Amino acid sequence: MNDLTRLSAHEMTALLRSGEVSSQALTEAHLAVAERQNRALNAWLAIYRADALAQATAADERIAEARHEGAAALNALHPLCGVPIGLKDLVSVKGGQATAGSKILQGYIAPFDSTVTARLRQAGAVILGKTNMDEFAMGSSCEHSAYGPTANPWDLTRVPGGSSGGSAAAVAAYHVPVSIGTDTGGSIRQPASLCGIVGLKPTYGRVSRYGIVAFASSLDQIGPFARDARDAAILLHAISGRDARDATSAPVEVPDELLKLPTSDDEAAGYLRGRRIALPREYFVEGMEPGVAARVREAVAAMEQAGAKVEEVSLPHTEYGLATYYIIAPAECSSNLARFDGVKYGLSDRTSGEYIADYLRTRGAGFGPEVKRRIMLGTYALSAGYYDAYYLKAQKVRTLIKADFDAVWAAGFDAICAPTSPTVAFPMGAKMADPVAMYLSDACTLPVNMAGLPGVSIPAGLSDGLPVGLQIIGAPWSELSMLRLARAYEGITARAPWRDLEPAELQLTDDPTTPSPIERKERLNAGASATGSGKA
C-alpha cells in the first residue's frame, strides 16, 4: 500500500475486512500526516494519539472476531469500523475538550458523549481528534476561532470557509477520510465547497443534536464531510436516526441503501435519466463570481446531457433570506448563549464579587467579536418593542421562504441545483472588517436551513485554480436520492481532468520555520500586497 491516507473510507472498509490493512496502520498513517501538517494548517485543536490508537486496536479486535465468525458477522459491522474520523470541537466526547472555538469554554471537559459520538463509537470509528471552527459556529471563514484561523490546503493564504473549516481542511488534506461538522446557515456546505470536498447538511431532525454545543436550535444540524458521495452516505447512515435525548430528532427511517450507493460510475450515472432538476434563477445574481456560476451551469448541463430534465424555477423570496436569517439565528443564539454565566462551567471572573458585574466581566472576556455582535443583534431583535418588527416578522418571512421550496417539490422536481458559495475561497482577512460581506458568503445556503431541508455540496471543478461547489438541495428526508444524484454526477465527471487536481499545499511540515496560519495572516496584513494571489 503506497499511501494509506489517500484511501476513501469505503476502500478502507474493504481492506480492513479482508485483513490487508489494520486500523492500527490506518490510524498511525493519518495521525502522522495530521501531526506533521497541523502547524501550517491549524485544522486540529486537539489530536488524541494514544486514545485513537487504543480505539484502533479495539476496532481491529472487533474485525478479527467477526472474520473468525464468518461473512455474516463481518457484513454486520458498520463500514466505519476501524476508519479514522475528526469531530468539530463542539461535539461532546466524554473526557475531552469541547471549546466550540471559544475562550469561554477553554478547559471545559465534556462529562458525557454526544449521541453522534456514541453512534460513531458503536460503529467502531476511530476518533482522531477535534477540529477548529469559528467561535460557536458563527462565521464563514474559520477566522473567528479563538485559537487562530485554519488555512485552506489549496492555498494557505486563503480561508477554508466556515464555520466547520477545520473539519473541511482536515478531509481535503487527507488527515482523515471523513469528519463531522455542523451547519446552521451553511457551515458544512460552504467549507466543503471552498475546500473541494463533499459536505452534507441533513434534514432538520435527521441527526440528534444531543451533546452538541447549541447555536440556533431551530436551524442547527450535524452532518458529514467526505471526499466522495459514498463516504458521505456511509457517515450519514452512522449518525442518523431518532434519539430519545433530542425531542426534535424525528422518528423517520434511516435507509440502509445509504451503504449501497453504486460502485460503478456508469451504473451511478444511470440515476440521472428522467430526473427533474430545478435551477433557481435567484441564485445566479449579484455578487456571484462568473467562474462559480459557469462551473455550476456546466455541471447542470452535464447532468442534462446524461438524461436529466433541467428547468429554471423561481424561489421569489430568496432576496429576503439574508435579513431573515440574521434575525432568527442571532435571536436563538442570544438565548442559547445565556447559559454561559461563569457558574456551572467555563470561564468565570469573580473578582468584583457583585453578580451582575461578574457576569458582565465573564462574558465580556469570554466571547469574541462575532459572537458578541450576534448576541447583541439577537437581544435587540427580541427586546420589548422590537419583537414584532424583527423576530416575529422574520418568522413570517421564514414561512414564505419555506413555501417557495414547497412549491418546487409540489411541482414534481427531484432536486434543486445551485451554487453553494457565491465565491471561491477568499483571502484571509478579506471580509473581517465588514460583517455583512462575510454574511453574504452564506446567501445560497442559509435559505435551506430556514426551510429545514437537506443540502449537499459536491466538487464541480475549479475557478482560478480554486474549488467550486455544486449544491444539491432536496425535499425533506430525501438524502438518499440527493446522494444518488451526487454519486451520478461523480460518475459522469469521473474522467474530467479536474478530478485529478489536488490541493497544492500537501507537502507541509512541522518545521518550526513553517508559519502558522495566524503568522501567515499577520504577514499578509502587514504586506503591501492585498491581492492575496500568491502561494505562501
Reported as half-sphere exposure (CB side, CA atoms, 13 A), residue 76 has a value of 9
Q: And the C-alpha cell for 208? A: 440528534
Q: Which of residues 380-439 bind other proteins (CB under 8 A)?
A: 380, 383, 390, 392-400, 402, 435-436
Closest distance to other proteins from the beta carbon of 264 (Å): 35
* Residue window 358-387: x/- pattern of binding to other proteins, with contact defined by CB under 8 A: xxxx-xxx-x-x--xx-xxx-xx--x----
Interacting residue with other proteins among 319, 464, 510, 519 (CB under 8 A): 319
Question: What stretches of 390-464 show up as alpha helix (H) in DSSP?
Answer: 393-410, 435-439, 446-450
Residues 103-162 within binding reach of other proteins (CB under 8 A): 108-109, 111-112
CB 447 → other proteins: shortest distance, Å? 12
Instruction: Show contacts with other proteins in window 3-22 (CB under 8 A).
Output: none
Q: According to the binding rule CB under 8 A, does residue 71 interact with other proteins? A: no
Q: Which of 140, 187, 334, 481 is catalytic?
A: 187
Q: Judge contact between 321 and 401, C-beta under 8 A.
A: yes
353 touches other proteins by CB under 8 A = yes
Grid cell 449521541 is found at 115
Give me the phi and psi of 352, to 5 degrees please.
-80, -30
Residue 121: CB minimum distance to other proteins, A: 17
Q: Which residues, including other chains, have CB under 8 Å from residue 340's CB and lie 6 or more apart?
A: 104, 105, 346, 347, 362, 363, 366, 367
Q: Is 264 exposed, middle or buried (0-12, 13-18, 19+ CB in 10 A)?
A: exposed
- For other proteins, which is the closer residue by CB, 189 or 317? 317
Number of residues that bind other proteins (CB under 8 A): 71
Q: Is 322 in the site for other proteins (CB under 8 A)?
A: yes
Nearest to other proteins of 355, 527 (CB atom): 355
Nearest to other proteins of 125, 219 (CB atom): 219
Rounded to whole angstroms, the Cα distance separating 290 from 421 reads 12
Minimum separation from the CB atom of position 440 to other proteins (A): 10
How many CB atoms are located within 10 Å of the residue 26 CB?
26
For β-strands 466-473 and 415-419, DSSP reports them as antiparallel
In whole angstroms, the minimum distance from the beta carbon of 365 to other proteins comes to: 8
Identify the active-site residue in 22, 88, 334, 521: 88
| Binding residue (CB under 8 A) for other proteins from 19, 311, 351, 355 | 355
- Please give the residues from 466 up to 485 whose contact with other proteins meets the rule CB under 8 A: 476
Site for other proteins in 189-248 (CB under 8 A): 203-205, 218, 244, 247-248
Residue 495 is a binding residue for other proteins (CB under 8 A): no
CA angle 352, 355, 360 (to 5 degrees): 80
Choose between 211 and 467: whose C-beta lies nearer to other proteins: 211
CB of 128 closer than 8 Å to CB of 82: no
163 is catalytic: yes
Which one of the listed residues 23, 102, 141, 163 is annotated catalytic? 163
Taking the complex as a whole, how short is the minimal distance between the CB of residue 402 and other proteins, in angstroms? 6
Torsion angles phi and psi, residue 477, rounded to 5: 70, 15
Residue 309 appears among annotated catalytic residues:
no
For the bound state, the minimum distance from the C-beta of residue 379 to other proteins, rounded and expressed in Å, comes to: 4
Q: Which stretch binds other proteins (CB under 8 A): 78-86, 354-362, 411-419, 464-472?
A: 354-362
Residues 270-289 that bind other proteins (CB under 8 A): none
| Residue listed under C-alpha cell 432576496 | 319
Q: Which is nearer to other proteins, 44 or 367 (CB)?
A: 367
Closest to other proteins by CB, 395 vs 463, is 395
| Residue listed under C-alpha cell 455540496 | 457
Using the rule CB under 8 A, give the single segment among 257-265, 305-313, 326-334, 416-424 that binds other proteins.
326-334
Handedness of CA 244, 205, 423, 309 (dihedral sign): positive
Please tell me the distance from the alpha carbon of residue 35 to that of residue 33, in angstroms, as a whole number: 5
386 or 498: CB nearest other proteins:
386
Q: In 3D, which of 253, 281, 302 has the Cα closest to residue 461?
A: 302
Half-sphere exposure of 119 (CA within 13 A, CB side): 23
Task: Look up residue 101 and give its amino acid.
Answer: G
Of 23-31, 339-347, 508-516, 525-533, which part binds other proteins (CB under 8 A)? 339-347
The dihedral built from the CA positions of residue 356, 361, 362 and 367, taken in this order, carries a sign that is: positive
Rank residues 284 and 359 by Cβ distance to other proteins and give the closer one: 359
Task: Work out which of 356, 495, 507, 529 binds other proteins, going by CB under 8 A.
Answer: 356
Cell of 262: 453504486
Note the Cα 338 to chain centre separation in Å.
Answer: 25
Q: Which DSSP symbol is given to 204?
A: T
Q: How far is the CB of 93 from other proteins (least distance, A)?
A: 14
Pairing state of beta strands 309-313 and 276-280?
A: parallel
- Interactions with other proteins, residue window 443-462 (CB under 8 A): 450-453
Asked if residues 381 and 327 have their Cβ atoms less than 8 Å apart, the reply is yes
Nearer to other proteins, 14 or 360 (CB): 360
Is 535 assigned a catalytic role?
Answer: no
How many whole angstroms separate alpha carbon 435 and alpha carbon 141?
Answer: 12
Which listed residue (3, 50, 68, 344) binds other proteins by CB under 8 A?
Answer: 344
Q: Find the helix or strand (DSSP H, E) in which 321 lies.
A: helix 321-336
What is the set of active-site residues?
A: 88, 163, 187
